[in-house]
């Protein structure tokens, strides 16, 4: 009887304990699913478009699914992609003739689903092959560097490395196409050659081989400034392609060295006060500049993953902890309905086009900030998953 009473008391005490709070990665994913509950094609639902932002979010949600094992996250990803893939070998909203590297990024989710058994596995793999065909025909510089888009003649942008190369590396692994790894490594080598500033170690946003663009330096072809999200795309691309590169590939060591070269540069430009990074990375004290959410989340993700996988010295864990604490303080808020929200993401950043974007300091500060922008929310979830794994 005494044993029964003790067990009853222990059980009652256990039931009285409050449930452990969900981690930030899951809370933000839950918020996103509440913002966009129907992924099946409503015109106001951005999640039902084919674009890099949607791919970024779906990849983040799929990683939450993998971490938690909860089916609702994976089901959401499947539902969204199935709407975009009618099964006739096409992708709704995708135009291969644009030769736009941004359109490749969602292919990473196709590959993730195509690895698992299921009734639509062949459809996902076929769609991935369609995207890869674009890469085989992508216009490129004289050295083989992909143009960012067909309309951006002779230009390589940092953004493009994230949009295309993790997909290309994983595709090469899935479809056993080892020559693809050589081409992935070449893209990073060309960025290191043409976009790294020897004085600071930072990377310029874009490079024009022709030197013809108004934003291009007449001598180097480089754009004028360092944009944190641009470098964030590049840093994430580096740590992600290494997931798929063969251990014995001759360029794998060089890719790790690129990351190791970049890490102390990012640490140097981390804001001492907030722990975050500025929109224009190297000009934190200049009037109008501000710490920006998406670039900060991307840097924390890349550095934390680099530490976890042994590419980077453990001393960079302190940089990630300071950065993540700053992100939570500066940008994350709880709404009246209890959902998380992320503020402080710059809506866009580009070069050229119409109206013309000249890459000046003033240009980068002119683009509006957005709340719950996919380009901030996705990297926040990924950074949170890394920080949660490090505990």
Q: Catalytic site residues?
A: 159
Q: Which residues pair with 287 in a beta bridge?
A: none
Question: Could you say which DSSP state residue 154 is in?
Answer: T
E-state strands within the chain: 155-157, 206-208, 332-334, 340-342, 345-346, 369-370
Q: How far apart, in whole angstroms, are the C-alpha atoms of residue 47 and residue 322?
A: 32
User: Do β-strands 369-370 and 345-346 pair in parallel, antiparallel, or remain unpaired?
Assistant: antiparallel
Give per-residue burial for 125-145: e unless 16+ CB within 10 Å, then b.
Answer: bbbbebbbebbeebebbeeeb
Interior CA angle at 284 toward 283 and 288, to 5°? 90
| Residue among 389, 195, 383 at smallest CA distance from 298 | 383
In three-state secondary structure terms, 206 is: strand
Q: How far apart are CA 125 and CA 119, in angstroms?
A: 12
Residue 343, phi-psi category: left (phi > 0), alpha (psi -120 to 50), beta (remainder): beta
What is the number of other CB atoms lying within 10 angstroms of the CB of residue 266? 25
Q: Residue 348: which of 330, 370, 328, 318 has the closest Cα?
A: 370
Q: How many other CB atoms are found less than 10 A from the CB of residue 303?
A: 28
């Amino acid at each position: 009887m005494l044993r029964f009473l003790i067990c009853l008391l222990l059980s009652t005490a256990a039931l009285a304990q409050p449930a452990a709070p969900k981690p930030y990665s899951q809370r933000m994913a839950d918020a996103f699913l509440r913002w966009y509950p129907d992924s099946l094609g409503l015109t106001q639902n951005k999640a039902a478009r084919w674009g890099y932002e949607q791919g970024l979010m779906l990849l983040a949600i799929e990683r939450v699914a993998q971490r938690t094992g909860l089916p609702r996250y994976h089901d959401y990803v499947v539902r969204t992609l199935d709407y975009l893939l009618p099964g006739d070998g096409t992708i709704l909203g995708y135009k291969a003739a644009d030769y736009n590297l941004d359109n490749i990024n969602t292919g990473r989710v196709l590959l993730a689903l195509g690895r698992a058994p299921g009734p639509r596995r062949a459809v996902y793999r076929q769609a991935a092959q369609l995207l890869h065909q674009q890469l085989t025909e992508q216009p490129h510089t004289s050295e083989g560097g992909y143009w960012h888009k067909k309309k951006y003649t002779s230009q390589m942008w940092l953004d493009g490395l994230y949009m295309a190369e993790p997909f290309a590396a994983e595709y090469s692994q899935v479809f056993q196409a080892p020559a693809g790894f050589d081409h992935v490594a070449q893209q990073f080598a060309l960025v290191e050659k043409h976009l790294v500033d020897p004085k600071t170690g930072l990377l310029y946003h874009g490079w024009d081989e022709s030197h013809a663009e108004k934003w291009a330096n007449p001598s180097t072809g480089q754009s004028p400034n360092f944009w944190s999200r641009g470098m964030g795309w590049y840093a994430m691309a580096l740590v992600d392609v290494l997931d798929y590169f063969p251990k014995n590939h001759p360029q794998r060591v060089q890719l790790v060295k690129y990351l190791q070269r970049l890490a102390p540069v990012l640490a140097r430009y981390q804001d001492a006060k907030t722990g975050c990074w500025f929109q224009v990375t190297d000009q934190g004290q200049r009037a109008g500049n501000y710490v920006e959410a998406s670039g900060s989340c991307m840097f924390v993700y890349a550095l934390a993953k680099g530490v976890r996988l042994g590419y980077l010295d453990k001393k960079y864990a302190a940089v990630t902890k300071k950065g993540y604490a700053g992100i939570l303080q500066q940008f994350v808020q709880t709404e009246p309905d209890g959902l998380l929200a992320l503020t402080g993401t710059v809506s866009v950043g580009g070069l050229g086009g119409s109206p013309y974007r000249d890459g000046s300091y003033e240009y980068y500060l002119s683009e509006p900030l957005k709340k719950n922008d996919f380009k901030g929310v996705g990297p926040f979830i990924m950074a949170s998953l890394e920080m949660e794994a490090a505990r």
